[in-house]
A and B are shown apart, each in its own frame.
Chain A
């Protein structure tokens, strides 16, 4: 059964798994140096120029799996020696150019960068080209292509450039930790720092794993889990989590229900709101549109709201959030969230944790997971938050006409924010999701696909509580 989309993810997973194995046994420090040779054995290289380079890179991956560079505050890190220094040609005319007579490319170029040789074949003057891509769009032969590095292409907030050695470099002031580059780099040269070792430490010393342990560990799982671990049943994942040492598993979707209620009220009072669920979107507003910060919802994210509730009602609780998101790792380090969320894991890391304990979750008994409503659960996909906010308006009898602007992916978010900045936005509620498709497109997902949205909706419909009010009524 296919567990990952790419071989790069699989490689990252193998490193995480080996680190986790040693961490459970308290043997990490003595054996850490053996991991690279274990994963790249023998003398023959299978991935890079020689096996020694492979091991050097694996060594770097081990470091990131153990929390990475402490001096670098960014969750997303580049492994310099793993970067293949891909060519960055920009827009180029290929030999598909037929030397036609129309010269649409010339007409559309606002910078006069296109010239023709005696065969009417187009050439681009690099000193004039601004990389707008207009010529590539109009060429009837698609003869003009834009060559950009996959990481730069993935980074829509333009935080990635090249350093002097041509390796990728991240501008921390622009980076929103969405992880798009992590997922897109074909060489796996960009990784998200893992806090899995912290999580193992928390679990090991908990009541369930240690006699005399003084606290319980709660797993708060994101609703996008319904599109993950598709080789097993969700109930089996719940049982697996308990076998790892979690005391209980709670849906972050319940936090989403709570947020939907509060955000609907806030919207009707303020009249204009941008959502605060997606930490990458919030970070983007703060870094790129500081003037719009006042419109960000004051509600914390579903993760933080639920974690706060757990800590306030249960003495000695620890909370580990498990989701598809690399930006959540950064969110959990914010001063206002830190007291409630002890650490964050991705689905990739959870898979590594299961396998480090040799748990075949598909053979386990099914546990139950049911805390939230349909509406809390569909937060996992683009448009879900908006549906939930509208429903929460109705349930609370708030008389306010919500005009949503659903932004699927950070580019759509940018367009909406630009309009809002200029005062020409047709709407009063921006739902911003940095990943395409919403959380189901997150960088920490095991698999991404067409089916994910249908999986989320199906899981939503299975919720025991049909309204948001019913789901949150229980909490007071």
Chain B
């Protein structure tokens, strides 16, 4: 099970947390991994960045996620993780 927390603190919020939440929901539904991923929000993770949003996947923190690099992030850190867990 993957616990994915999107930072919705002020800084990330202004940099588009809501977009990332929307993209995540869509991508999770698209790949039918709803049962393997738990999405939630989190207030400041403490890694405020100049660009993009901070997302925590289990214990790993990823910064700077934007609409543009979302696909890459999702494939590498969520989809592949889910697959490797499934094996």
Contact = CB atoms under 8 A, between A and B. Distances in A.
A102 interface: no
Contacts of B73: none
A250 B43 contact: yes
Nearest to B8: A474
A346 interface: no
Given A249-B10, A370-B10, A371-B10, A313 B17 contact: no
Interface string A352-384: 000000000000000111110000000000000
Contacts, number: 51
Interface in A438-476: 464-465, 470, 473-476
Given A464-B13, A474-B13, A474-B18, A310 B43 contact: yes
A470 to B, nearest CB: 7
B9 A248 contact: yes
A17 interface: no
Interface residues of B, number: 18
A476 B41 contact: yes
Interface string B10-50: 11011001100100000000000000000111111010000
B10 A368 contact: yes
Given A370-B13, A464-B14, A247 B46 contact: yes
B41 A248 contact: no
A246 to B, nearest CB: 10
B54 interface: no
Interface in A311-334: 313-314
B10 A369 contact: yes
A218 interface: yes
A250 B21 CA distance: 19
Contacts of A476: 39-41
A247 B44 contact: yes
A370 B14 contact: yes
Contact of B40 (A218, A247, A249, A313): A313
A473 B21 contact: yes
A313 B43 CA distance: 8
Chain A: number of interface residues, binned into ranges: 20 to 34
Nearest to B46: A247
Q: Which of B10, B17, B21 has the most CB of A within 10 A?
A: B10
B46 A473 contact: no
Contacts of A238: 10
Contacts of A473: 18, 21
Contacts of A475: 8, 41
Given A218-B43, A248-B44, A313-B5, A368 B14 contact: yes
Contacts of A470: 18
Contacts of A249: 10
Contacts of B11: 368
Q: Which of B18, B40, B44, B46 has the most CB of A within 10 A?
A: B44
Contact of A474 (B41, B44, B46): B41
Contacts of B9: 248, 250, 371
Contacts of B14: 368, 370, 464
Contacts of B43: 218, 248, 250, 310, 313-314
Interface in A240-267: 247-250
A474 B6 CA distance: 9
Contacts of A369: 10
Contacts of A367: 10
Contacts of A314: 42-43
5 contacts: A464-B13, A473-B21, A474-B6, A474-B21, A474-B41
Nearest 4 pairs of A and B residues by beta carbon = A248-B44, A368-B10, A370-B10, A474-B8
Given A368-B14, A464-B13, 7 more contacts: A249-B10, A313-B40, A313-B43, A368-B11, A370-B13, A371-B10, A474-B6
